[in-house]
Amino acid sequence: MPDVRPVSDLRQNMAEVMDSIDTENRPVILTKHGRGRYILLSIEDYNRITALNELYEAIDEGIADLEVGRASNFRDFAQQLRKEMKRRNAGQDRISKR
């Protein structure tokens, strides 16, 4: 379960909010006027979410390739998926090294 706090907490207690993300290992949802507005999360969580989204996109692309004949079988699909994920992961490594 994420930690829910008003955005004013971030302004007043930034160090505490950031520590909470690290120690609780969960995102913090910031509310504005009582409604969820922003999410703060660790770079590791961000990278994991991004990698999963990219995996789902690559799977969808692979299925589309199978459907139109650009890949003829599951082995071709799997090879293309591995290549695509390696290419996309190379881009993610640059983000985490900043």
Mean pLDDT by 10 residues, the chain (98 residues): 89 92 91 94 92 86 81 75 78 58
The pLDDT of residue 33: 93
- Residue 76: predicted pLDDT: 75
**Residue-level pLDDT at 84:** 77
Predicted pLDDT at 38:
94
Output the pTM of the full model: 0.64
What are the angstrom distances between the C-alpha of 79 and each of 21, 68, 72, 92? Answer: 37, 17, 11, 20
Query: Which pLDDT score is estimated for 31?
Result: 95
In sequence order, the β-bridge partners of residue 38 are: 30
Helix axes 43-68, 74-96, angle to 10 degrees: 150
State both tokens at 98.
């900043």
